[in-house]
Each structure stands twice: as structure tokens, then as C-alpha cells.
Chains A and B, each alone.
Chain A
Amino acid sequence: MIKLKGMYDSMLRCIISEDMDAVDFVKEFDEVRGKGKRFLPGAKVVLDFGARPLSEELIRDIMSDLVWSSGMYVAAWITYDAATQDLLKRIGLPTSEPAPSARTNERALGGTLLLQRSLRSGQRVEHAGDVIVAGHVNDGAEVLASGHVTVLGRLNGLVHAGNNGDETASVIARSMEALQVRIGTKIGSLDRDERWWGKMVIVRVSEGSVFIDYWPAVKSENRDENAG
């Protein structure tokens, strides 16, 4: 089913449920257009498809049956399917969660994206702001954020914090199992036999290099016990 919710900056979020059958799209679009007859024309809307991949045909249908016919202004097309994001970008459509206008610089307060799921291989989250993943980032999944990234589960995939060049951004993972972490313009790499592997760590840039340390910082004599 399709849900409409309010967001910051008087934007609307149109959530197209991942488990909705593709054959129901036409019917559901009709319903949304009917319900939003009065407020949809000119409204800024984020279309949120979850992890659903979109085909070119489907994008065309969404354009004609939802976007143009309702008169909405689409601020972003959100899907976690990386191939779909690439397709949308190729057409020139915005795929990144819009940053809240008044609070762009206060990223810790403003545009934090809390993702309550695990990202599977081939899924990607791009966000202007901080990202918290309440799940795992599996091998082959990607998280790109202009701010900090915190992974409450296992980090196997690729995280790029501060992806517009901000090297004050950091990455925290509850279980660090990624061979590479990117911050700003720097790339840090890790081997499986290093002591941080599988531990709770913070990764950040200091004096131009990528550093990794246990998080929270522990006293050296307790370190191995606590970490193990």
C-alpha cells in the first residue's frame, strides 16, 4: 500500500510499501491522487520505495500515473537498490534524501536518517546528513553519507562518511568486519587478522590519515578483555 506522511520543511513522504504487488500500482496511484487532490499539486514530495528495484517501465508509469497527473513536485526518489539509483541518476532524477534547509549545518540534529533494517548486498543508502543503521551492512551493500555513520550491527560492506569531502566525519561500527572504510577523500583499509576485526570501533581522519580505535575508548590493560 502507499502511505503519505508529513516530514520536515513541510515536505511529504510518499511511502510505497516494499511488499506491495507491482500489479496494484495503478489502483494505488489512483487512490493517492484521489486523497491528495487538494494538497498534492505543487507539494514537495519524497517518493520512498524502500528496497524495491524500479524498472524503466515502472518509472515511466510512476511519472505519468502519479507525478504528472497529481501535480506534485518530487524532491527525491529514494530506493536502496543500487542499480535503480544509478538508473534514476542517469535520467537526472535526485536520489539523495533532501537535507533540511534551515538546519543544514547542524547535521547531528537535523537530517539524521535512522534505518531500521539490514542492508543486503546490492542495496545502497545515500543521505545528506548522518546515518544510523539499526541492522547489519552486509558485504556488497553501501552507505554513503555526508555526515557520520553509525552501524549498530555488523559492518561488512562499504561505508563512506563525509562523502562530500568532510573529514571530520566518523564511522562507528558495533562489529567491524569491513576491509575498507572511506571518510572524506581518504580510504582506510583493514586486514582480517588485525585486532580491531570484529570489535566495536570508531574510524576517523586525523592529520590526513585514517585512524581506527576501539569504541568506546578503553584503558590499555583492559583492552583485550573488553574487546574480546
Chain B
Amino acid sequence: MTARVIVVTSGKGGVGKTTATANLAAALANMGKKVVAVDGDVGLRNLDVIMGLENRIVYTLIDALDGTCRLNQTFIRDKRIENLFMIPTAQSRTKDAVTAEQMIEVCDELRREFDYVLVDSPAGIEAGFRNSAAGADEALVVTTPEVSAVRDADRIIGLLESMNKSPIRLIVNRIRPHMVKKGDMLGVSDVLDILAIDLIGMVPDDEAVVTSSNKGEPLVLSSAPPAARAFRNIASRIAGSDVPFMNLELPDSGSLFGKIRRAIWGH
């Protein structure tokens, strides 16, 4: 097996990187892929909570790097979904506990055993981000339709480009069609116009995300919430299927989808 190693990143904090990582990992595993989600946020780990696996942590990635255990001893197997694993990180250490070379080695070792390796990156542009991105081939940039998040995403895309990650694709998270329609929120087409990278998914703002994060149950396991459908679609697109984009347009608002379509397909 040779996995695709994908870093999930954003620049700005709190835009939904960890939620996206957890849900995409779960959705890909649900499609029958063997997936591992790696928490790259040393010192501020969250992925374990959102995936609901915190009570099962024995060894962390840092233990494996320190030589306390083997890498495969850090794997936590998800009991709900077959083929879904996660590697937790240490809460008691800082970003300096990992180097870029170590992350490359870890990713290369994981590559042999999985179909997909998703690395959840910390916010920021410093060593923590660079390390998480070091071992990855591709990148998913998560942003919300807010000016500050888009500016930070732009910065991150510049850095990812210079690190030679390809493709770099965009997830626009927490879209509120009502606000976009009133002109109180940037639309997806505005965001794409600024960032000039390919869109891989749009996720509507959905209260179910908060509930699922707190419960530690990946949203994609339930069928109803719109955000769950959005994440499943993104997972299918990562896997290479051509899934049409969700229509986040409000009934009778004419233009949002048209604009998105123009932004993506140029007509």
C-alpha cells in the first residue's frame, strides 16, 4: 500500500481543521479505505476528543519518537468504523518535541500500511505547521467565509506552494446561506476569487457539528445533517469521484450556485 498523505491546515485557529480531519477520516474509512488520522498539534491535542477516542490513549506519537514504543503501538483503532485509526499526540509537550525529519519518517512508515494518512495541523505558520506539513504530499486548506480567515488561508497557501505540496485544495466551512444572500458574509465565489485554488467542498454551518464534537461521534456516521453530507462528498472527491457540489443556495436566491459554478468551471 502507498498512502496519500494529506495535511489539513488553515492558518487561523478555530475554523474547523480538527473537525474536518475527523470527519474526512471517518468518511473515507466508511468507504472501505484504511485510514489513519494523525494529531499534529503537539501540546494542544484535540483530535482524540473529537473522534471520541481520548479514553483509549496509551502511547502517543511523541512516545514513539522518543523510542518508548513502536509507532504501531500508538494506533488507536476506532470501534465504530472498521479501518479507521488515529495517532494521538502528547498534551504535555510542545511543538519542539517533533522535527520535520521525524514527521517525514513517520509519514513514510504510515504510507506502507494505509490508504490515507490525514495529518491535522496546528494553527499558525510556525514550526508546528511546518512539521505537520513536512511529510504530506497534498494539502487541504480549511477556511470560513470571513476576511481574517481568508487572509490567513492565503498566507498558508503561499507557504504550502513554496513547500511544493500539490494539489492544494480548499474547503469553505461554516457557510450561512442567509447571511451570504444578505451580503453580510463572503460568498464561496468571493473566497475562491481571492485564494485562486481548487475548491473541494463547501460545508454549511450546522449545529450538529458542535453536538457531534462534544460527544466524540464523527458527524458523518449520521445521515441527516447537511454538514455530514458535505463531508461525505468531500471524502468522495478526495477518493477521486466526481460528486456534484451541494446546492447551498436558498430557495429563490438566484445567483450563489451560478457564481460558484462560474468560479469552478468557468461558465
On A, residues with C-beta under 8 Å from B are 18-21, 50-53, 81, 118, 120-123, 136, 138-140, 156
Contacts and interface: CB of A to CB of B under 8 A. Distances in A.
Contact of B154 (A19, A20, A53, A120): A120
Contact of B155 (A20, A21, A122): A122
Interface string B145-166: 0010011101101110110100
Nearest to A81: B162
A21 B155 CA distance: 20
B162 A21 contact: no
Contact of A121 (B152, B162, B164, B196): B152
B interface, how many residues as a size bin?
A: 10 to 19
Interface of B: 125, 147, 150-152, 154-155, 157-159, 161-162, 164, 194, 196
Given A118-B196, A139-B147, A53 B162 contact: yes
B154 A138 contact: yes
Contacts of B154: 120-122, 138-140
B103 to A, nearest CB: 14
13 contacts: A18-B162, A18-B164, A53-B159, A81-B162, A118-B196, A121-B151, A121-B158, A122-B125, A136-B194, A138-B154, A138-B194, A139-B154, A140-B151
A121 B161 contact: no
Contacts, number: 46
Contacts of A53: 159, 162
Contact of B151 (A18, A21, A139): A139
A151 to B, nearest CB: 14
A21 B201 CA distance: 29
Nearest to A156: B194
B155 A52 contact: no
A120 B156 CA distance: 9
Given A121-B154, A122-B155, A51 B164 contact: no
A56 to B, nearest CB: 13
Contacts of B151: 121, 138-140
Contacts of B164: 18-21
Nearest to B193: A154
B155 A140 contact: yes
Contacts of B150: 139
Nearest to A140: B151
A81 B160 CA distance: 12
B155 A18 contact: no
Nearest to B196: A118
A52 B162 contact: yes
A129 to B, nearest CB: 24
Contacts of A21: 164
Contact of A51 (B158, B194, B196): B158
B158 A120 contact: yes
A81 B162 CA distance: 10
A140 B161 CA distance: 17
B125 to A, nearest CB: 8
A121 B159 CA distance: 10
B192 to A, nearest CB: 13
Contacts of A18: 161-162, 164
A52 B160 CA distance: 10
Contacts of B194: 136, 138-139, 156
Contacts of A140: 151, 154-155
A156 B157 CA distance: 17
